[in-house]
Structure 1
Amino acid sequence: MTDSRFRRKTSRRRAFGGVVAGTLGIAATSAIARATPARTGQPAPSGTYRIDLHAHFLPPDYRAALLDHGHVTIGGYPTPDWSPEQALAFMDYYGIQAQALSVSDPGVSFLRGKEANDLARYCNTYAARLLQTHPKRFGAFAVLPMPDVAASVAEAVYALDELHLDGVVLLSAYDGVYLGDPRFEPLLIALNQRSAHVFVHPAAIPAEAKPKLPLPDFLEEFTFDTTRAATLMMATGTTQRYRNIRFQLAHAGGTLPFLSHRVSVASQTVLGELWPDDLPRPSVLDTQRQIANFYYDTALSGSAAAMASVLAVGKREHVVFGSDWPFSALTLPQTGTHDPAPGLSDIFDAAQRMEVERINPLRQLPRLAAAIDA
């Protein structure tokens, strides 16, 4: 090869490399811009405007059943009291206009058969009555009698089509089987047909399967379990097949945003080589797209560190407010500041907080939005 031909090829490579580097640089700069805390120090908007998509309820018979079966703590947190009156007082104090209520771990999965079905129906009917009594203050995600898939399909259809609840709550795993496992397909088909909002809440890992650490599950293990569920849903193509479902990941997605790059390289390992022929082969960019399509709530994650990580891989319009009350009662006492997540002001200005704490959640719950506007 002559020197001139070599120089021309080298020049083309450098030019191509410059284009690629420039493209990646723009993408990286955009991600950094999204993730860089604004640190505006602006106060939150005033008034009762927040819509809470991560809030729990424990109807009387449900709480009694938990205690009767030895669930005196949930994720290491003492099983709390709850009543509509307590919830309304909390909401009024912290400027929360409405809460979308859900049953936390363990759902009704500590029961089986008719007992589980009946308890799920009790919780969902209780929620539906709350929606009628306080239409502008409460929404609800239906609890299902998982891991019984057939019964859960029936309850989901009833809760969404007849009771008109706002979505469903699913735990990250049932009996050690994570969301994304093929045996849950019939339920996901039914939810996809209804374009359901699905709140994914972590489940406690069985004692024999987790490290012996003197720490309650809700501090760390819950976040890891959410990550496992989200990763498996992507790895098995669940999030690709059921694109009408809007999956909301609790607690800012657990550790998924931080591990997003690590998760995305799965397609370059033996996992990618074993990919089923009837599913699109994953790629780094496609995995990143799927991660960006999740919704992330701010429950126990209202800090610049957590939100910057979410914004680095996702979209601000996919961030929704969550309080985790009453399980956050110790960190959100009804004394002092009336801002339930002051750390959000370290990364969002007042207009962006309004988007995260009201506009985005209401987009996900059209029934509740219509009730509030009525």
Structure 2
Amino acid sequence: MTNSRPALRIDLTRRAALGGGLAGLAAAAWPASLGTPARAEQPAPAGTYRIDLHAHFLPPDYRAALLEHGHLTIGGYPTPDWSPEQAIGFMDYYGIQAQALSVSDPGVSFLSGRDAIDMARYCNTYAAGLFTTHPTRFGAFAVLPMPDIAASIAEAIYALDELRLDGVILLSAYNGVYLGDPRFEPLMAALRQRNAYVFVHPAAIPDNAKPALPLPDFLEEFTFDTTRAATMMMVTGMTQRYPGIRFQLAHAGGAVPFLSHRISVASQSVLGRLWPEDLPKPSILDTQNQISRFYYDTALSGSAAAMASVLAVTGRDHIVFGSDWPFSALTLPQTGSHDPAPGLSAIFDADQRMEIEHHNPLRQLPRLADAVKS
């Protein structure tokens, strides 16, 4: 898939930085080829049109197992209740046509052996059942019994080929091993054969490996872990070796857009400047291109600051809508507009929001696109 990242011209003046506030910053960082950013008061498109690629579900047996194993919170957020009826009620209120459901952190990795394999199969089969009972409202990304690579390959093949799920979800790391590590290569090869869509979601860091701050993981640590995973995937060449896999980064890519120059600093060095144009670039010199090829969702990131940063590294066609429901239930606006992400209108006009919230997601998930149109 080709990238349409526009040339970016940034003219961040002292007046824009100090006097213009957020609107000034957004306008200063806005790619000139896209025209003038929409103003905050511009309304979103009307109707139930959104396609949500960052939405979670907790089937009954899965949620019971989480609680039984002490997972009373997920990322610091109380483990929520979930049902198809609740999800449809949420979607109807916020103008969401369909959700691609996924199991959030910790996946099924809190189990081991046969228990993890069986739980993954249960969650994936449950999701596939929703395609029958609610065919136009739900898609799904398969959870895999990671870090068991052989079992995960088998489950991915079954979920994608037999259950016809829309992709897979992978956590940023398993037992401290980040995506990009060579031990994940066999799984990536299997996913490449299917041109799979892969949703990369952050995982909680063990308490002994992070600062002892009185902050829930979802507030900051989740974004940092997505950044670590994406960086490892790039510098080890994983995203370069498997261009057929489309990777979606949660929460606007964490800190990847903001750190894009720093991550790609090698390409700015003498080595990068002197590298022959007719030779393939090693991964460390190709990070800017790889960053542009990720897909970035809007979950908990529907703001001019976040979206301007994403637009600085990729095209609008690589942004997809995400709600993070039900984990975002306490943060969603309860307004008469029924807009789940009003901050998107601070930088996108109505046509651009339709592209991001409807067309882009369906372009990546052909099975769900066919179901929605039927």
The SS at the match of 1:70 is coil
Asked whether the equivalents of residues 252 and 301 of structure 1 are also in contact (C-alpha less than 8 Å), the reply is yes
Alignment partners' CA distance in 2, 1:269 and 1:233: 21
The SS at the match of 1:98 is strand
| Mapping of residues 118-129 of structure 1, within 5 Å | 118-129=118-129
Asked whether the equivalents of residues 102 and 169 of structure 2 are also in contact (C-alpha less than 8 Å), the reply is yes
Corresponding residue number in structure 2 for 1:244: 244
Alignment partners' CA distance in 2, 1:104 and 1:279: 37
| Mapping of residues 1-374 of structure 1, within 5 Å | 27-28=8-9, 32-33=31-32, 34=34, 37-39=37-39, 41-267=41-267, 280-282=281-283, 284=285, 286-332=286-332, 336-374=336-374
Alignment partners' CA distance in 2, 1:100 and 1:28: 35
Report the alpha carbon displacement of residue 289 of structure 1 after superposing the two structures with TM: 1.1
Alignment partners' CA distance in 2, 1:191 and 1:133: 28
The SS at the match of 2:9 is helix
Corresponding residue number in structure 2 for 1:275: none
Alignment partners' CA distance in 1, 2:30 and 2:334: 37
Asked whether the equivalents of residues 108 and 144 of structure 2 are also in contact (C-alpha less than 8 Å), the reply is yes
Report the alpha carbon displacement of residue 244 of structure 1 after superposing the two structures with TM: 0.4
- Unpaired runs of at least 5, structure 1: 1-25, 273-277
Asked whether the equivalents of residues 234 and 284 of structure 2 are also in contact (C-alpha less than 8 Å), the reply is no
- Unpaired runs of at least 5, structure 2: 1-6, 11-28, 273-278
Report the alpha carbon displacement of residue 61 of structure 1 after superposing the two structures with TM: 0.2
Structure whose CA Rg is larger = 1
Report the alpha carbon displacement of residue 281 of structure 1 after superposing the two structures with TM: 1.8
Alignment partners' CA distance in 2, 1:129 and 1:27: 45
RMSD: 2.1
Moved more, 72-81 or 40-49: 40-49
Report the alpha carbon displacement of residue 271 of structure 1 after superposing the two structures with TM: 11
Alignment partners' CA distance in 2, 1:95 and 1:172: 30
Q: Deviations over 1:206-243 (max 9, x none)?
A: 00000000000000000000000000000000001000
Asked whether the equivalents of residues 35 and 307 of structure 1 are also in contact (C-alpha less than 8 Å), the reply is no
Report the alpha carbon displacement of residue 313 of structure 1 after superposing the two structures with TM: 0.6
- The percentage of counterpart residues that share the same residue type is 79
Asked whether the equivalents of residues 77 and 216 of structure 1 are also in contact (C-alpha less than 8 Å), the reply is yes
Report the alpha carbon displacement of residue 269 of structure 1 after superposing the two structures with TM: 7.6
Alignment partners' CA distance in 2, 1:340 and 1:234: 32
The number of residues matched between the two structures is: 344
Moved more, 230-239 or 336-345: 336-345
Alignment partners' CA distance in 2, 1:27 and 1:134: 42
Corresponding residue number in structure 2 for 1:5: none
The SS at the match of 2:317 is helix
Q: Which one has the bigger helix percentage?
A: 1
Alignment partners' CA distance in 1, 2:293 and 2:353: 20
Amino acid at match of 1:32: P
Report the alpha carbon displacement of residue 32 of structure 1 after superposing the two structures with TM: 3.5
Report the alpha carbon displacement of residue 334 of structure 1 after superposing the two structures with TM: 5.6
Q: Deviations over 1:3-40 (max 9, x none)?
A: xxxxxxxxxxxxxxxxxxxxxxx653696325974326
Asked whether the equivalents of residues 203 and 222 of structure 2 are also in contact (C-alpha less than 8 Å), the reply is yes
Amino acid at match of 1:232: M
Report the alpha carbon displacement of residue 337 of structure 1 after superposing the two structures with TM: 3.6
Q: Deviations over 1:253-273 (max 9, x none)?
A: 00000000000014568999x
The SS at the match of 2:185 is helix
